[in-house]
Amino acid sequence: MTSILLVDDHPMVRGGLKTALGVVAGWTVIGEADNGQQGLALVQRCRPDILIVDLQMPGMSGMEVLRSVVASVPSTRVIVFSMHAEDAYVREALDLGAHGYVLKDADASELINAIRTVSQGGRYLSPLLAERMINAYLGHVPDAGGIGWMDVLTKRERQILVLAGQGLNAVEIGERLTISPRTAETHRTNLMRKLGLKGLRELERFAREQGLLEAS
């Protein structure tokens, strides 16, 4: 059972999140708080698997909560849920140890996907942020600080990126990794979305440019 804690000063936001997440099998929202101090105390007492925290709250900010949780309860994975899409906020949150950053204009399915990704050991950025990050990495926009493209992919997605970059199809990838072709295709679609790639040719070019392909 994946335990989730919500910290946001808007009751309607917390209520909507609790309803959306509470229906996912194997997940339970174990608590909620409307300020940073209370949220940190709940994390330290309940030690949830996932903390979803807003950045701007009265008193203790979400960044302060994030910093304290990473230091005192490192087993809790933190997803920032914020209206702020500016690079400075994203970079600071990731530098402090956030495992995900989801914009508040996202729908429930995106937050659910973020929680699943983070629960599996990966990192998650909203598509807008991920696309901006990868463009920065490739030199299309100014430097994006310490954010690297591998930070937004799970271990499995990185494996599939290499194999797909070598030209393997979903069936061949599935055989290589002992997973179903449908699962392989789902991972491939997710990693392309995260990296802002459109089509297999762009994926293969990206893998080649990043030096991921085995020498033939």
- Residue 149 pLDDT > 70, yes or no? no
Q: pLDDT band at 134, cuts 50/70/90?
A: low
Percent above pLDDT 70 for the chain: 88
- pLDDT of 147 > 50? The answer is no
**What's the sign of the alpha-carbon dihedral 80, 70, 135, 164?**
negative
Tens of pLDDT along 7-39?
Answer: 999 999 999 999 999 899 999 999 999 999 999
Task: Please tell me the pTM assigned to this model.
Answer: 0.64
Q: What is the distance between the alpha carbons of residues 208 and 192, in angstroms, rounded to a whole number?
A: 15
Q: Give the Cα separation of 129 and 196 in Å (integer).
A: 10
What is the distance, to the nearest Å, from the Cα of residue 41 to the centroid of all Cα atoms in its chain?
24
